[in-house]
Structure 1
Amino acid sequence: MTEFERERAMPAPAERVFAVASDVHRLGEWLPGVITVRPDEPEGLDVDVHDPAGEYEAPGVLGASREQMRLEWGRRGSPDYSGWLQVSSAEGGSSYATLHLSFHGDQPAAHGGGAAQDVENRLDESLTRLAELVSTG
């Protein structure tokens, strides 16, 4: 298993950051790729993710815990990939967002090199976009 994690200070209270991050209509504004969300069963939302490079499409599931300010997602029917976003309060009306991805299978990102660097870059870009979204209202 290979894991990637990034944390970034956010220029807004944790509640605002989580509200923006968990808004299913805004997921594509901060996460990479093209994301299609469809309401599903009570256990979460059906999510289709189209890779930014156009290389694959992956059906997934997304769940949110407002009480814990946490999003969790993964591939539907496969343990190969999962991720989460945790938002935590900080002093002075700011917060922190931690973005974590786990690759459990034999995926290119699990072997290091360019694919792993691409994942790390996407984590950084996603947190930067989320910070920009919460700072602009």
Structure 2
Amino acid sequence: MLDEISTLQLTSTWKEIKKLIKEDPRYLKYNSDKGEREFRDYIKDKTMTAKTSLRELLQECKFITHKSSDLIKENPNHLKEIQDILKNDKRYLVLDHMEEERNTIVLGFLEELNKRGPPPPPTASESTRRNK
């Protein structure tokens, strides 16, 4: 039922959504407390999905490499360049209301890439990679 509400966002409140669904026969089966609990769980699940999608976006972004973390330390504007690129994707924008946590995810990803180092060359065979 909540998936059918086109205006529902991660920032929506129970009060706003309750007004939209109060006449729905499916909602009438719930008491108000259970409906609110379902809504909170739904938002929590959607938020987790959004964070996972952000991590997928970061992995897909060719501009981000194992060197990005060091580049940011040398020039903080590099982070802004990364963010400007990410702003073109809704997977980044959907977490606008959680800017600090979103930045933590991005910076954590950059640090993780930095620790892993450069990826193996594309010509390396699978068995060569395993032996290292």
Q: TM-score range by the shorter chain?
A: under 0.3
TM-score w.r.t. the length of structure 1 is: 0.25
TM-score w.r.t. the length of structure 2 is: 0.26
In terms of fraction of residues, the more strand-rich structure is 1
Q: Using CA pairs under 8 Å that are at least 6 residues apart, name the structure with larger relative contact order, 1 or 2.
A: 1
